[in-house]
A and B are shown apart, each in its own frame.
Chain A
Amino acid sequence: MLLKKKKSFLQEFYLIEIIKGLMITMKNMLFSPKVTIQFPEERRNYSDRYRGMHYIKATNGVENCTACMLCPTVCPAECIHIEAGERPDKEKYPVKFEIDLLRCCFCGMCEEACPKDAIKLSNIYEMSTTHREVYDKQFLLEQRGNK
Protein backbone atom coordinates (compact mmCIF):
# COMPACT_ATOMS: atom_id res chain seq x y z
CA MET A 1 0.00 0.00 0.00
CA LEU A 2 1.31 3.39 -0.92
CA LEU A 3 1.48 5.72 2.01
CA LYS A 4 1.25 9.39 1.26
CA LYS A 5 3.97 11.26 3.05
CA LYS A 6 2.71 14.17 4.90
CA LYS A 7 4.39 17.37 3.69
CA SER A 8 4.97 20.41 5.71
CA PHE A 9 3.33 23.72 4.83
CA LEU A 10 6.51 25.21 3.47
CA GLN A 11 7.02 22.24 1.21
CA GLU A 12 3.54 22.44 -0.12
CA PHE A 13 3.76 26.17 -0.69
CA TYR A 14 6.38 25.74 -3.54
CA LEU A 15 7.16 29.45 -3.89
CA ILE A 16 10.60 29.03 -2.36
CA GLU A 17 11.40 26.26 -4.84
CA ILE A 18 10.26 28.45 -7.73
CA ILE A 19 12.45 31.30 -6.57
CA LYS A 20 15.39 28.91 -6.22
CA GLY A 21 14.89 27.69 -9.77
CA LEU A 22 14.57 31.20 -11.15
CA MET A 23 17.81 32.15 -9.42
CA ILE A 24 19.66 29.45 -11.37
CA THR A 25 18.05 30.60 -14.63
CA MET A 26 18.93 34.22 -13.98
CA LYS A 27 22.47 33.31 -12.95
CA ASN A 28 23.03 31.43 -16.23
CA MET A 29 21.35 34.11 -18.28
CA LEU A 30 23.17 37.05 -16.87
CA PHE A 31 26.59 35.84 -15.77
CA SER A 32 27.66 32.77 -17.86
CA PRO A 33 29.38 33.17 -21.28
CA LYS A 34 27.14 33.01 -24.36
CA VAL A 35 27.03 29.77 -26.37
CA THR A 36 25.42 31.05 -29.55
CA ILE A 37 27.39 33.05 -32.09
CA GLN A 38 26.34 35.33 -34.92
CA PHE A 39 27.17 32.74 -37.56
CA PRO A 40 28.06 34.35 -40.85
CA GLU A 41 29.96 37.19 -39.14
CA GLU A 42 31.43 35.13 -36.36
CA ARG A 43 32.92 31.70 -37.01
CA ARG A 44 33.87 28.95 -34.68
CA ASN A 45 37.36 27.49 -34.79
CA TYR A 46 37.44 23.84 -35.64
CA SER A 47 40.28 21.39 -35.15
CA ASP A 48 42.61 20.77 -38.09
CA ARG A 49 41.47 17.18 -38.01
CA TYR A 50 37.89 18.13 -38.73
CA ARG A 51 36.50 16.06 -41.61
CA GLY A 52 34.69 18.40 -43.96
CA MET A 53 34.67 19.05 -47.68
CA HIS A 54 36.87 16.78 -49.82
CA TYR A 55 39.72 17.92 -52.02
CA ILE A 56 42.47 16.29 -54.07
CA LYS A 57 45.96 17.36 -53.28
CA ALA A 58 48.22 18.38 -56.14
CA THR A 59 51.99 18.63 -56.31
CA ASN A 60 53.38 21.11 -58.86
CA GLY A 61 50.01 21.29 -60.54
CA VAL A 62 49.75 17.52 -61.05
CA GLU A 63 47.16 15.66 -59.00
CA ASN A 64 48.63 13.21 -56.52
CA CYS A 65 45.96 10.65 -57.31
CA THR A 66 46.99 7.60 -59.37
CA ALA A 67 43.51 6.08 -59.55
CA CYS A 68 44.51 3.07 -57.47
CA MET A 69 40.87 2.68 -56.40
CA LEU A 70 41.64 2.11 -52.75
CA CYS A 71 39.24 4.87 -51.67
CA PRO A 72 36.20 3.41 -53.50
CA THR A 73 37.22 0.02 -52.13
CA VAL A 74 37.26 1.17 -48.54
CA CYS A 75 34.36 3.63 -48.79
CA PRO A 76 31.42 2.30 -46.73
CA ALA A 77 28.94 4.59 -48.49
CA GLU A 78 30.13 3.75 -52.02
CA CYS A 79 30.16 7.40 -52.95
CA ILE A 80 33.45 7.61 -54.89
CA HIS A 81 33.50 6.85 -58.61
CA ILE A 82 36.82 6.77 -60.44
CA GLU A 83 37.77 5.97 -64.02
CA ALA A 84 41.44 5.45 -64.70
CA GLY A 85 43.36 6.49 -67.79
CA GLU A 86 46.83 6.99 -69.16
CA ARG A 87 48.56 10.12 -70.39
CA PRO A 88 52.14 10.84 -71.46
CA ASP A 89 53.33 12.49 -68.24
CA LYS A 90 51.60 10.07 -65.90
CA GLU A 91 51.16 6.32 -66.26
CA LYS A 92 47.84 6.19 -64.49
CA TYR A 93 45.63 9.09 -63.55
CA PRO A 94 41.93 9.56 -62.81
CA VAL A 95 40.01 10.59 -65.92
CA LYS A 96 36.91 10.86 -63.82
CA PHE A 97 36.85 11.36 -60.07
CA GLU A 98 33.45 11.97 -58.58
CA ILE A 99 32.21 12.13 -55.03
CA ASP A 100 28.50 11.85 -54.51
CA LEU A 101 28.09 14.17 -51.57
CA LEU A 102 24.64 12.96 -50.60
CA ARG A 103 25.98 9.49 -49.99
CA CYS A 104 29.20 10.52 -48.21
CA CYS A 105 29.18 9.98 -44.45
CA PHE A 106 32.46 11.86 -43.83
CA CYS A 107 34.09 8.90 -42.10
CA GLY A 108 37.49 9.81 -43.52
CA MET A 109 38.40 6.25 -44.46
CA CYS A 110 39.32 7.35 -47.99
CA GLU A 111 41.88 9.74 -46.58
CA GLU A 112 43.28 6.98 -44.40
CA ALA A 113 43.47 4.43 -47.22
CA CYS A 114 45.08 6.74 -49.77
CA PRO A 115 48.69 5.69 -50.42
CA LYS A 116 49.47 8.90 -52.31
CA ASP A 117 48.09 11.46 -49.86
CA ALA A 118 45.77 12.60 -52.63
CA ILE A 119 42.24 12.63 -51.29
CA LYS A 120 41.86 14.80 -48.19
CA LEU A 121 39.07 16.14 -46.09
CA SER A 122 39.39 19.85 -45.38
CA ASN A 123 37.81 21.70 -42.48
CA ILE A 124 35.34 23.51 -44.70
CA TYR A 125 31.92 22.63 -43.33
CA GLU A 126 29.59 24.92 -45.25
CA MET A 127 28.37 22.48 -47.86
CA SER A 128 24.62 22.66 -47.74
CA THR A 129 22.96 23.04 -51.12
CA THR A 130 19.47 22.87 -52.49
CA HIS A 131 20.29 20.29 -55.15
CA ARG A 132 22.01 16.91 -55.38
CA GLU A 133 25.72 17.67 -55.25
CA VAL A 134 28.34 15.59 -57.05
CA TYR A 135 31.88 16.89 -56.81
CA ASP A 136 33.83 16.26 -60.00
CA LYS A 137 37.57 16.10 -60.40
CA GLN A 138 37.93 19.71 -61.51
CA PHE A 139 36.12 20.98 -58.43
CA LEU A 140 38.03 18.71 -56.08
CA LEU A 141 41.34 19.88 -57.50
CA GLU A 142 40.49 23.57 -57.37
CA GLN A 143 38.96 23.28 -53.95
CA ARG A 144 42.12 23.66 -51.93
CA GLY A 145 44.59 23.99 -54.75
CA ASN A 146 48.15 23.33 -53.73
CA LYS A 147 47.66 23.77 -50.04
Chain B
Amino acid sequence: MWRPCGTFDDTYEKDVTIMRTAAQWAVTIAGLVLLGLLPFLLGGGLITTLNLIGVSVVSIMGLHILTGLTGQISLGHGAFMGVGAYAMMMLMNLTGFSFWLAMPLAVLTSGLVGLFFGLPSLRIKGFYLAMATLAAQFIIPWTIINVRPDLTGGTSTLTVDAPNLFGFAFSSQQRIFYLVMAFAVISVILARNLQRSKVGRAFVAIRDNDLAAEIMGVEIFRYKLLAFFICSLYSGLGGCLLAVWMGAVNVDSFLLHESIWYLGMIIVGGLGSVPGAVFGVVFIRFLEIVSQSIGPPIAGFFPDAIGAAVKSGISPFIFGLVILLFLAYEPRGLAHRWEIFKHFYRRWPFSH
Protein backbone atom coordinates (compact mmCIF):
# COMPACT_ATOMS: atom_id res chain seq x y z
CA MET B 1 0.00 0.00 0.00
CA TRP B 2 1.22 3.47 -0.88
CA ARG B 3 1.33 6.11 1.75
CA PRO B 4 2.95 9.52 2.06
CA CYS B 5 6.57 9.85 3.21
CA GLY B 6 7.08 9.99 6.93
CA THR B 7 3.98 8.00 7.82
CA PHE B 8 5.05 5.15 9.99
CA ASP B 9 2.88 2.54 11.61
CA ASP B 10 4.39 2.11 15.07
CA THR B 11 1.32 0.52 16.65
CA TYR B 12 -1.09 -2.11 15.42
CA GLU B 13 -3.98 0.33 15.68
CA LYS B 14 -2.21 2.69 13.34
CA ASP B 15 -1.54 -0.11 10.92
CA VAL B 16 -5.20 -0.98 10.54
CA THR B 17 -6.76 2.45 10.43
CA ILE B 18 -8.19 3.76 7.20
CA MET B 19 -7.40 7.36 8.07
CA ARG B 20 -3.66 7.57 8.46
CA THR B 21 -2.75 11.22 8.31
CA ALA B 22 -4.17 14.51 9.42
CA ALA B 23 -4.49 15.48 5.79
CA GLN B 24 -6.74 12.50 5.13
CA TRP B 25 -8.94 13.47 8.04
CA ALA B 26 -9.05 17.05 6.79
CA VAL B 27 -9.99 16.02 3.28
CA THR B 28 -12.63 13.60 4.52
CA ILE B 29 -14.24 16.10 6.89
CA ALA B 30 -14.12 18.86 4.29
CA GLY B 31 -15.64 16.46 1.79
CA LEU B 32 -18.47 15.51 4.14
CA VAL B 33 -19.16 19.17 4.99
CA LEU B 34 -19.25 20.02 1.29
CA LEU B 35 -21.58 17.08 0.76
CA GLY B 36 -23.84 18.43 3.49
CA LEU B 37 -23.90 21.87 1.89
CA LEU B 38 -24.57 20.64 -1.63
CA PRO B 39 -28.37 20.98 -1.50
CA PHE B 40 -27.92 24.68 -0.79
CA LEU B 41 -25.43 25.11 -3.58
CA LEU B 42 -26.98 23.15 -6.40
CA GLY B 43 -30.26 23.27 -8.26
CA GLY B 44 -32.94 20.69 -7.70
CA GLY B 45 -32.36 18.91 -11.00
CA LEU B 46 -28.76 18.15 -10.18
CA ILE B 47 -29.66 17.13 -6.63
CA THR B 48 -32.13 14.62 -8.02
CA THR B 49 -29.42 13.05 -10.10
CA LEU B 50 -27.02 13.11 -7.14
CA ASN B 51 -29.67 11.36 -5.07
CA LEU B 52 -30.02 8.67 -7.68
CA ILE B 53 -26.25 8.34 -7.63
CA GLY B 54 -26.37 7.97 -3.84
CA VAL B 55 -29.04 5.28 -4.11
CA SER B 56 -27.01 3.50 -6.75
CA VAL B 57 -23.87 3.74 -4.61
CA VAL B 58 -25.65 1.97 -1.76
CA SER B 59 -26.84 -0.71 -4.12
CA ILE B 60 -23.57 -1.10 -5.99
CA MET B 61 -21.68 -1.79 -2.77
CA GLY B 62 -23.51 -5.11 -2.72
CA LEU B 63 -22.50 -5.95 -6.25
CA HIS B 64 -18.98 -4.82 -5.44
CA ILE B 65 -18.84 -7.43 -2.70
CA LEU B 66 -20.47 -10.17 -4.75
CA THR B 67 -18.83 -9.62 -8.11
CA GLY B 68 -15.86 -7.41 -7.41
CA LEU B 69 -14.60 -9.30 -4.35
CA THR B 70 -16.08 -12.78 -4.57
CA GLY B 71 -16.11 -13.03 -8.34
CA GLN B 72 -19.71 -14.25 -8.66
CA ILE B 73 -21.45 -12.48 -11.54
CA SER B 74 -25.02 -11.51 -10.78
CA LEU B 75 -27.56 -10.48 -13.38
CA GLY B 76 -30.34 -10.26 -10.82
CA HIS B 77 -29.28 -7.20 -8.90
CA GLY B 78 -32.18 -5.07 -10.08
CA ALA B 79 -34.68 -7.73 -9.05
CA PHE B 80 -33.24 -7.92 -5.51
CA MET B 81 -33.62 -4.14 -5.30
CA GLY B 82 -37.21 -4.69 -6.32
CA VAL B 83 -37.71 -7.15 -3.48
CA GLY B 84 -36.52 -4.53 -1.00
CA ALA B 85 -38.62 -1.76 -2.50
CA TYR B 86 -41.78 -3.82 -2.71
CA ALA B 87 -41.36 -5.35 0.74
CA MET B 88 -40.96 -1.87 2.21
CA MET B 89 -43.88 -0.46 0.26
CA MET B 90 -46.16 -3.29 1.37
CA LEU B 91 -45.10 -3.06 5.00
CA MET B 92 -45.65 0.69 4.98
CA ASN B 93 -48.91 0.76 3.06
CA LEU B 94 -50.58 -2.40 4.34
CA THR B 95 -49.47 -2.70 7.93
CA GLY B 96 -48.79 0.98 8.54
CA PHE B 97 -45.20 0.46 9.67
CA SER B 98 -43.02 3.54 9.61
CA PHE B 99 -40.10 3.72 7.21
CA TRP B 100 -37.66 3.07 10.04
CA LEU B 101 -39.33 -0.20 10.92
CA ALA B 102 -40.29 -1.28 7.43
CA MET B 103 -36.91 -0.58 5.86
CA PRO B 104 -34.81 -2.99 7.98
CA LEU B 105 -37.41 -5.73 7.56
CA ALA B 106 -37.47 -5.15 3.82
CA VAL B 107 -33.69 -5.24 3.67
CA LEU B 108 -33.72 -8.54 5.53
CA THR B 109 -36.36 -9.93 3.17
CA SER B 110 -34.24 -9.00 0.21
CA GLY B 111 -31.24 -10.64 1.87
CA LEU B 112 -33.11 -13.90 2.36
CA VAL B 113 -34.41 -13.92 -1.21
CA GLY B 114 -30.87 -13.29 -2.38
CA LEU B 115 -29.68 -16.15 -0.22
CA PHE B 116 -32.20 -18.46 -1.88
CA PHE B 117 -31.13 -17.52 -5.38
CA GLY B 118 -27.51 -17.83 -4.30
CA LEU B 119 -28.01 -21.52 -3.57
CA PRO B 120 -27.13 -22.60 -7.14
CA SER B 121 -23.66 -21.15 -6.55
CA LEU B 122 -22.99 -24.38 -4.67
CA ARG B 123 -22.56 -26.15 -7.97
CA ILE B 124 -22.57 -23.55 -10.68
CA LYS B 125 -19.73 -21.29 -11.64
CA GLY B 126 -18.93 -18.41 -13.91
CA PHE B 127 -21.37 -17.44 -16.57
CA TYR B 128 -23.72 -20.30 -15.77
CA LEU B 129 -24.21 -18.74 -12.37
CA ALA B 130 -24.88 -15.41 -14.05
CA MET B 131 -27.64 -17.15 -15.94
CA ALA B 132 -29.05 -18.69 -12.77
CA THR B 133 -29.31 -15.18 -11.34
CA LEU B 134 -30.88 -14.16 -14.64
CA ALA B 135 -33.63 -16.61 -13.77
CA ALA B 136 -34.11 -14.64 -10.53
CA GLN B 137 -34.30 -11.48 -12.59
CA PHE B 138 -37.28 -12.90 -14.46
CA ILE B 139 -38.95 -14.84 -11.68
CA ILE B 140 -39.04 -11.99 -9.13
CA PRO B 141 -40.75 -9.33 -11.27
CA TRP B 142 -43.15 -12.00 -12.53
CA THR B 143 -44.04 -12.82 -8.94
CA ILE B 144 -44.53 -9.15 -8.13
CA ILE B 145 -46.83 -8.65 -11.10
CA ASN B 146 -48.84 -11.84 -11.03
CA VAL B 147 -49.05 -13.51 -7.65
CA ARG B 148 -50.85 -10.98 -5.51
CA PRO B 149 -51.54 -7.90 -7.64
CA ASP B 150 -54.00 -6.74 -4.99
CA LEU B 151 -51.08 -6.30 -2.57
CA THR B 152 -48.25 -5.33 -4.89
CA GLY B 153 -50.26 -3.26 -7.31
CA GLY B 154 -49.30 -5.53 -10.20
CA THR B 155 -47.97 -3.43 -13.03
CA SER B 156 -49.30 -0.15 -11.73
CA THR B 157 -47.44 2.32 -9.58
CA LEU B 158 -48.07 2.56 -5.86
CA THR B 159 -46.95 5.57 -3.86
CA VAL B 160 -44.66 5.45 -0.86
CA ASP B 161 -44.93 8.04 1.90
CA ALA B 162 -41.92 10.15 2.67
CA PRO B 163 -39.97 8.86 5.69
CA ASN B 164 -40.24 10.97 8.77
CA LEU B 165 -37.51 11.45 11.37
CA PHE B 166 -38.62 13.30 14.53
CA GLY B 167 -41.02 15.41 12.53
CA PHE B 168 -38.57 16.06 9.70
CA ALA B 169 -40.17 14.63 6.58
CA PHE B 170 -37.85 13.65 3.78
CA SER B 171 -40.27 14.90 1.20
CA SER B 172 -38.31 17.04 -1.24
CA GLN B 173 -35.24 16.00 -3.17
CA GLN B 174 -33.15 18.43 -1.09
CA ARG B 175 -34.21 16.61 2.07
CA ILE B 176 -33.98 13.12 0.60
CA PHE B 177 -30.41 14.01 -0.21
CA TYR B 178 -29.43 13.83 3.47
CA LEU B 179 -31.14 10.50 3.97
CA VAL B 180 -29.60 8.97 0.88
CA MET B 181 -26.14 10.36 1.46
CA ALA B 182 -26.11 9.22 5.10
CA PHE B 183 -26.87 5.69 3.96
CA ALA B 184 -24.40 5.96 1.09
CA VAL B 185 -21.57 7.04 3.39
CA ILE B 186 -22.35 4.31 5.92
CA SER B 187 -22.59 1.69 3.15
CA VAL B 188 -19.27 2.69 1.68
CA ILE B 189 -17.54 2.58 5.09
CA LEU B 190 -19.04 -0.82 5.89
CA ALA B 191 -18.05 -2.24 2.53
CA ARG B 192 -14.56 -0.83 2.83
CA ASN B 193 -14.12 -2.39 6.24
CA LEU B 194 -15.61 -5.71 5.23
CA GLN B 195 -13.06 -5.89 2.46
CA ARG B 196 -10.23 -5.60 5.03
CA SER B 197 -11.64 -8.22 7.37
CA LYS B 198 -11.22 -11.99 7.47
CA VAL B 199 -14.46 -12.37 5.51
CA GLY B 200 -13.27 -9.98 2.84
CA ARG B 201 -10.02 -11.85 2.45
CA ALA B 202 -11.93 -15.11 2.15
CA PHE B 203 -14.04 -13.55 -0.59
CA VAL B 204 -10.96 -12.47 -2.52
CA ALA B 205 -9.44 -15.92 -2.11
CA ILE B 206 -12.56 -17.47 -3.63
CA ARG B 207 -12.47 -14.99 -6.49
CA ASP B 208 -8.83 -15.60 -7.29
CA ASN B 209 -8.99 -19.37 -7.13
CA ASP B 210 -11.81 -21.18 -5.41
CA LEU B 211 -10.12 -24.57 -5.35
CA ALA B 212 -6.99 -23.14 -3.77
CA ALA B 213 -9.14 -21.27 -1.29
CA GLU B 214 -10.95 -24.43 -0.33
CA ILE B 215 -7.71 -26.27 0.25
CA MET B 216 -6.55 -23.42 2.46
CA GLY B 217 -9.60 -23.94 4.64
CA VAL B 218 -12.06 -21.36 3.33
CA GLU B 219 -15.53 -22.83 3.42
CA ILE B 220 -16.44 -21.89 -0.13
CA PHE B 221 -20.16 -22.52 -0.04
CA ARG B 222 -20.68 -20.68 3.22
CA TYR B 223 -18.76 -17.67 2.04
CA LYS B 224 -20.42 -17.64 -1.38
CA LEU B 225 -23.83 -17.67 0.29
CA LEU B 226 -22.66 -14.97 2.70
CA ALA B 227 -21.60 -12.88 -0.30
CA PHE B 228 -25.02 -13.35 -1.88
CA PHE B 229 -26.70 -12.46 1.41
CA ILE B 230 -24.67 -9.30 1.97
CA CYS B 231 -25.10 -8.29 -1.66
CA SER B 232 -28.85 -8.62 -1.40
CA LEU B 233 -28.94 -6.68 1.87
CA TYR B 234 -27.27 -3.79 0.09
CA SER B 235 -29.47 -4.08 -2.97
CA GLY B 236 -32.56 -4.28 -0.75
CA LEU B 237 -31.52 -1.08 0.99
CA GLY B 238 -30.84 0.45 -2.41
CA GLY B 239 -34.34 -0.57 -3.49
CA CYS B 240 -35.92 1.00 -0.38
CA LEU B 241 -34.06 4.24 -1.02
CA LEU B 242 -35.03 4.17 -4.69
CA ALA B 243 -38.66 3.88 -3.63
CA VAL B 244 -38.23 6.90 -1.35
CA TRP B 245 -36.44 8.76 -4.12
CA MET B 246 -39.24 8.13 -6.61
CA GLY B 247 -41.94 8.44 -3.98
CA ALA B 248 -43.39 5.36 -5.63
CA VAL B 249 -42.62 1.84 -6.71
CA ASN B 250 -43.13 0.38 -10.13
CA VAL B 251 -41.83 -2.93 -11.31
CA ASP B 252 -40.47 -1.20 -14.41
CA SER B 253 -37.57 0.16 -12.35
CA PHE B 254 -36.28 -3.29 -11.47
CA LEU B 255 -35.94 -5.06 -14.78
CA LEU B 256 -33.01 -6.78 -16.47
CA HIS B 257 -31.81 -3.56 -18.06
CA GLU B 258 -31.05 -2.13 -14.61
CA SER B 259 -29.24 -5.27 -13.47
CA ILE B 260 -27.03 -5.33 -16.51
CA TRP B 261 -26.10 -1.70 -16.08
CA TYR B 262 -25.27 -2.14 -12.42
CA LEU B 263 -22.81 -4.75 -13.57
CA GLY B 264 -21.65 -2.24 -16.17
CA MET B 265 -21.04 0.37 -13.49
CA ILE B 266 -18.62 -1.75 -11.49
CA ILE B 267 -16.82 -2.85 -14.63
CA VAL B 268 -16.37 0.75 -15.77
CA GLY B 269 -15.30 1.64 -12.26
CA GLY B 270 -12.83 -1.19 -11.97
CA LEU B 271 -13.61 -4.48 -10.28
CA GLY B 272 -12.64 -5.04 -6.69
CA SER B 273 -12.27 -1.45 -5.58
CA VAL B 274 -14.69 0.59 -3.50
CA PRO B 275 -13.70 3.96 -4.98
CA GLY B 276 -13.89 2.32 -8.39
CA ALA B 277 -17.46 1.20 -7.82
CA VAL B 278 -18.43 4.70 -6.68
CA PHE B 279 -16.72 6.28 -9.68
CA GLY B 280 -18.47 3.82 -11.95
CA VAL B 281 -21.87 4.85 -10.60
CA VAL B 282 -21.10 8.54 -10.93
CA PHE B 283 -19.73 8.05 -14.44
CA ILE B 284 -22.65 6.04 -15.82
CA ARG B 285 -25.40 8.04 -14.11
CA PHE B 286 -23.98 11.35 -15.26
CA LEU B 287 -23.32 10.03 -18.74
CA GLU B 288 -26.96 8.93 -18.89
CA ILE B 289 -28.33 12.34 -18.05
CA VAL B 290 -25.67 14.32 -19.93
CA SER B 291 -26.03 12.34 -23.14
CA GLN B 292 -29.80 12.90 -22.92
CA SER B 293 -29.41 16.66 -22.57
CA ILE B 294 -26.55 17.34 -24.98
CA GLY B 295 -27.99 15.14 -27.70
CA PRO B 296 -30.64 17.55 -29.02
CA PRO B 297 -28.32 20.62 -29.13
CA ILE B 298 -25.72 18.60 -31.04
CA ALA B 299 -28.40 17.46 -33.46
CA GLY B 300 -29.15 21.16 -33.99
CA PHE B 301 -25.85 21.49 -35.85
CA PHE B 302 -26.98 19.06 -38.51
CA PRO B 303 -28.94 20.28 -41.53
CA ASP B 304 -32.70 20.19 -41.11
CA ALA B 305 -33.19 17.27 -43.46
CA ILE B 306 -31.41 14.81 -41.18
CA GLY B 307 -31.54 16.86 -37.97
CA ALA B 308 -34.75 15.28 -36.70
CA ALA B 309 -33.48 11.76 -37.35
CA VAL B 310 -30.16 12.52 -35.68
CA LYS B 311 -31.96 14.03 -32.71
CA SER B 312 -33.83 10.85 -31.92
CA GLY B 313 -30.77 8.62 -31.86
CA ILE B 314 -27.88 10.83 -30.85
CA SER B 315 -28.20 10.31 -27.10
CA PRO B 316 -27.80 6.52 -26.99
CA PHE B 317 -25.18 6.83 -29.69
CA ILE B 318 -23.08 9.18 -27.56
CA PHE B 319 -23.65 7.04 -24.49
CA GLY B 320 -22.45 3.87 -26.21
CA LEU B 321 -19.56 5.59 -27.96
CA VAL B 322 -18.20 7.22 -24.79
CA ILE B 323 -18.19 3.89 -22.96
CA LEU B 324 -16.56 2.09 -25.87
CA LEU B 325 -13.84 4.73 -26.14
CA PHE B 326 -13.40 4.69 -22.41
CA LEU B 327 -12.96 0.92 -22.38
CA ALA B 328 -10.53 1.07 -25.26
CA TYR B 329 -8.33 3.62 -23.48
CA GLU B 330 -8.85 2.56 -19.87
CA PRO B 331 -9.87 -1.10 -19.90
CA ARG B 332 -8.92 -1.47 -16.25
CA GLY B 333 -11.55 0.96 -15.12
CA LEU B 334 -11.69 4.28 -13.33
CA ALA B 335 -10.16 2.83 -10.17
CA HIS B 336 -6.92 2.27 -12.06
CA ARG B 337 -6.92 5.87 -13.27
CA TRP B 338 -7.58 6.99 -9.68
CA GLU B 339 -4.55 5.05 -8.41
CA ILE B 340 -2.38 6.64 -11.07
CA PHE B 341 -3.68 10.04 -10.07
CA LYS B 342 -2.97 9.37 -6.40
CA HIS B 343 0.58 8.31 -7.13
CA PHE B 344 1.11 11.38 -9.25
CA TYR B 345 -0.24 13.60 -6.53
CA ARG B 346 1.80 12.04 -3.75
CA ARG B 347 5.05 12.25 -5.62
CA TRP B 348 4.41 15.68 -6.97
CA PRO B 349 6.45 17.75 -7.71
CA PHE B 350 9.01 15.01 -8.14
CA SER B 351 7.01 12.87 -10.51
CA HIS B 352 8.81 11.22 -13.32
To the question of whether A and B form a pair in one complex, the answer is no
Task: List residues of chain B with CB under 8 Å of any chain A CB.
Answer: none
